[in-house]
Amino acid sequence: MGDQSFKGADVRSQQTNNCSSDSEAAMVGFLAANKGGRFPGLQHANHDLCGCEHKPPTPNVSTYNVSTSSLSAFYLKHLVGDRGTDCKYVGGLEVGALNHPAPVPDCARDGMLYVDQVGSSELHALYPELRNKSITSVQLLDDGNVLSQVPSASRGFLIASHVIEHMPHTLLAVESWLRVVRGGGIVLIRAPWKCISFDRSRPVTSWSHFMSDYHRGVDMDADVLWLEHLPEWTMSHLQHLCGTPGGTVGSGCAAHFSSWHSHFVDRVLNQNFMRRGGVHFHTWTQQSWLEFWWRAHRALGPKVPFRVQDVGVETLDDGATDLFAVLSRKHGS
């Protein structure tokens, strides 16, 4: 590529639309239950209906890491590195910590700023299932897609752990996260791997979908944006509700799609569902995650120059598996 901003091979999409095994069963079962109708949520072209059988490209992709670690070790590695107990970055910001603030090393705790779209008391009301959990104290109210209240180049690092999938304007959010960190600062992102989550039966979000959301901008009608994504979220709910461990949503389960979709539409239009922000708008496989960052670097780099410092999939010591990316904003940008 001749560009060290993304250390690795010239990675282009290797996905196909040829589904197999349990992913194919999920799609066939759903479509059959809906009398052969078009799979909902495919308002944007070129989605891969499954994607979980595809493995990420490995030749010459030196940064695609497959590792086992702990969350604490992940943040220690990237915030401290070989500096012992002295952090390389200070003055951090975390978006949407809720009840799981990132376990950053002690040297990074001072000056941390916790940002969410609503305050701590309202978060308790929106998430009654967390009534016995401690919710991180919100210090700044702001939209994580734009961070309009955070000055540019004002933070040493930013953390978004299991937040990017909740951002309807994914690329705009990444651009905003890079904007608020200083030159040389980093953005640490973690996300669910679709293939082992309740998103398994959904289509893989295509790059054209991300770009469409980006170009329409944050000013588009929020109801419209949420309603567009609800069919796919309904599939995630059905997978969680009655799908098999292997990822199959059969005809009996899929028959409940219409009623659940109507339920979520009502919650968006008449209740506080959007303030809760619990929808997964988009999904990634290992392959599409790598492709996403390869393309994002080219789409956003001219506005906020950065390099993809690290990207991969990590199994944690508690058995959970996350996709991750570490972005470094270039000095002088």
End-to-end C-alpha distance for the chain, whole angstroms: 22
- Report whether pLDDT(164) > 60: yes
Nearest to 162 by CA among 141, 117, 192: 192
Residue 185 lies in a domain: yes
Q: Any residues with CB less than 8 A from the CB of 2 and at least 6 apart, and which?
A: none
Residue 149 lies in a domain: yes
Residue 10 lies in a domain: no
- Quote the number of domains for the chain: 1
Task: Calculate the average pLDDT of the chain.
Answer: 79
Residue 145 lies in a domain: yes
pLDDT per position as a tens digit, 141-162: 999 999 999 999 999 999 999 9
Nearest to 201 by CA among 2, 327, 23, 32: 23
Residue 79 lies in a domain: yes
Range of the domain at 306: 64-194+284-329
pLDDT of residue 5: 52
pLDDT of residue 249: 66
Cα–Cα distance measured from residue 105 to residue 281, given in angstroms and rounded to the nearest whole number = 31
If one compares 239 and 210, the residue with the highest pLDDT of the two is 210
- Report whether pLDDT(259) > 80: yes
Residue 273 lies in a domain: no
CATH number at residue 150: 3.40.50.150
Look at 67-71, 130-134, 229-233 and tell me which has the smallest mean pLDDT.
67-71
Let me know if 13 is exposed, middle or buried by CB neighbors in 10 A (0-12, 13-18, 19+). middle
Cα–Cα distance measured from residue 308 to residue 222, given in angstroms and rounded to the nearest whole number = 30
Residue 36 lies in a domain: no
pLDDT per position as a tens digit, 97-140: 999 999 999 999 989 999 998 888 888 888 888 888 899 999 99
